[in-house]
Structure 1
Amino acid sequence: MSAPAPARQIEFRNTTLGATLALVQAVEPAALADDMHKMLGGMPDFFNGESLILDFSAVVQWPERIDWPGLQSLMRRYRLQPIGVCSLPDGLAADAQRAGLAVMDSAILRDRPAEPARAPAPPQPQAVAPAAAPAAAPPVAPTGAATMYLDRNLRSGQQFYARGADLVVIGSVSPGAEIIADGSIHCYGPLRGRAIAGAQGDHGARILATNFGPELVSIAGVYRTFEGGIPATFAGKPAQVRLTGTEHTLTIESLQLD
């Protein structure tokens, strides 16, 4: 039985604040650099100048000081622009401010979805006269996973994120564009940019394209890039990407649509 994969030291998430959120479990630049290299395939231009907020809520052990210049340099290496931090102890938060980073705890709390309201307690049953049993109601089909539709072409430098949903793209994804979904991705036009499915860790997510030719594909953090070109078996043809086996190997397969 294989050992479980070690937890990631950093995970990237989208927010409604117009910035990317990096949830970190370590503060040492060297530890984060190793994880980022594995996650992003060593691509120094994986991001496109997005603003970044560093979320330290998952850190267990705190050092006396944090190498802020080292962290900022590491993020800029991947074309991220650190603008703020949250969930830091007071002393370290003050150091972050001196390094030019805003403390954004209140903004992050507003961005997080509110806890769903509890359903009201059912009324207490009252004694009633016996009645004929009602006819059985027809079974109700379970509600399926949410789906978002992108009914246009996505140009270079643009990004579209289907939060908590599958994504259906009825158009093309140009080189330099990026589509992200917490579920699966279905692309009915040429897929030439970056496709990231299972963004919150769904290993069962898939990427399906009728015209396969991406720069990068990822499912639940397992990445593959195509600097050397798309294999001829799949280039420009219908294909799907999924994780297989207990090791979650990224696999590309031809799709037979006729």
Structure 2
Amino acid sequence: MQNSLTRKPIEIKISTVVAVAVLLHEASTPALEAALKEMTTGSPDFFDDEFAVIDVESIAAETVDWDALIPLFKAHGLHPVAVRNAREEDYAIIRSHGLSIDVVSKPRHEPEVIAAQAEVPAPAAKAEPQVIIRNNPAMVIDTPVRAGQRIYARGADLIITASVNNGAEVIADGSIHIYSTLRGRALAGATGNTEARIFALQMEPELVSIAGIYRTFENGFPDLQAQHPAQVRLIGDSIEVSSVKTVG
């Protein structure tokens, strides 16, 4: 009886919910529908009921048919939960569909070193180069990641010392390091870090992604140099898979 009196009817805790970012470059619903059909190749579980944040920054000046767009994504296994970079006049209709408005705070990019040549005298002796070391946090997982599991290293790199099995998903805002076999899905640079990479001693992934750009391997994985770990990185707008050549 005492527990029922002291227990709160509802608790609110901080939780991390991972959502894919859907960047729209077209406002035309038929064009988007055709693109989704081509992307999913008709597979109803391609996106596996993923939450989605719709980013309309590229089509900010165009009119979006939200009444058609949101059901379109749901029909293809994506569940929109928020819209990013929307026009203020669209807020009401977006909220009427139960979606949130994701307000993006864009950081100011300031140079790390500002040099004024006229104000800095030449050094009398040869100056040693300045080395800046940043502490990048990391999440470490020592057990296998099994089918159905999802691990997200928010604001950090992800280090896994065991295998990532088929049907598992590992996500990091930074890079992903797997000291075993990657067979599931790996998504690095989840918040847009295009410099993030994915490393594994053996690559057999279902899907890899860097900063939202993904690649699947229905036609087989690229032949890599034997006995070398592999890496996935972003070159322009393309995912590159290559061997990591060790020294020694």
Any idea what SS the aligned residue of 2:133 has? coil
Tell me if structure 1 keeps the 8 A contact 2:183–2:206. yes
Aligned to 1:71: 70
When structure 1 is superposed on structure 2, of 21-30 and 205-214 the one drifting more is: 21-30
Aligned to 2:217: 226
Cα distance per residue 1:97-137 (max 9 Å; x no partner)? 55xx21434xx56xx89x9xxxxxxxxxxxxxxxxxxxxxx
In the alignment, is residue 184 of structure 1 matched against residue 175 of structure 2?
A: yes
Letter in structure 1 aligned against 2:79: Q
In the alignment, is residue 214 of structure 1 matched against residue 214 of structure 2?
A: no
Quote how far apart the aligned CAs of 1:19 are.
5.3
Q: Are the structure 2 counterparts of residues 146 and 207 from structure 1 closer, same or farther at C-alpha, using a change threshold of 3 Å?
A: same
Aligned to 1:146: 137
Cα distance per residue 1:197-242 (max 9 Å; x no partner)? 2233333322111122111222234433211333454689632223
RMSD between aligned alpha carbons?
4.1
Normalization by structure 1: what TM-score? 0.61
In the alignment, is residue 20 of structure 1 matched against residue 10 of structure 2?
A: no
Unaligned 5+ segments in structure 2 are 1-13, 108-129
Cα distance per residue 1:142-162 (max 9 Å; x no partner)? 332222212322222222222
Tell me if structure 2 keeps the 8 A contact 1:85–1:102. no
- Distance, in Å, in 2 between the alignment partners of 1:211 and 1:257 is 18
Quote how far apart the aligned CAs of 1:164 are.
2.4
Letter in structure 1 aligned against 2:136: A
Q: Are the structure 2 counterparts of residues 251 and 23 from structure 1 closer, same or farther at C-alpha, using a change threshold of 3 Å?
A: closer
Letter in structure 2 aligned against 1:250: E
Counterpart pick for 1:163 among 149, 154, 158: 154
Tell me if structure 2 keeps the 8 A contact 1:213–1:236. no
Tell me if structure 2 keeps the 8 A contact 1:41–1:225. no
In the alignment, is residue 253 of structure 1 matched against residue 236 of structure 2?
A: no
Cα distance per residue 1:35-69 (max 9 Å; x no partner)? 7689x686854432133344557752252x61423
Aligned to 1:61: 61
**Number of positions where the alignment pairs a residue of Structure 1 with one of Structure 2:** 211
Tell me if structure 2 keeps the 8 A contact 1:166–1:184. yes
When structure 1 is superposed on structure 2, of 232-241 and 216-225 the one drifting more is: 232-241
Q: Are the structure 2 counterparts of residues 66 and 16 from structure 1 closer, same or farther at C-alpha, using a change threshold of 3 Å?
A: farther
Normalization by structure 2: what TM-score? 0.63
- Distance, in Å, in 1 between the alignment partners of 2:74 and 2:247 is 42
Aligned to 1:5: none
Q: Are the structure 2 counterparts of residues 36 and 211 from structure 1 closer, same or farther at C-alpha, using a change threshold of 3 Å?
A: same
Letter in structure 2 aligned against 1:172: S
Aligned to 2:123: none
- Distance, in Å, in 1 between the alignment partners of 2:208 and 2:91 is 36
Any idea what SS the aligned residue of 1:102 has? coil
Aligned to 2:229: 238
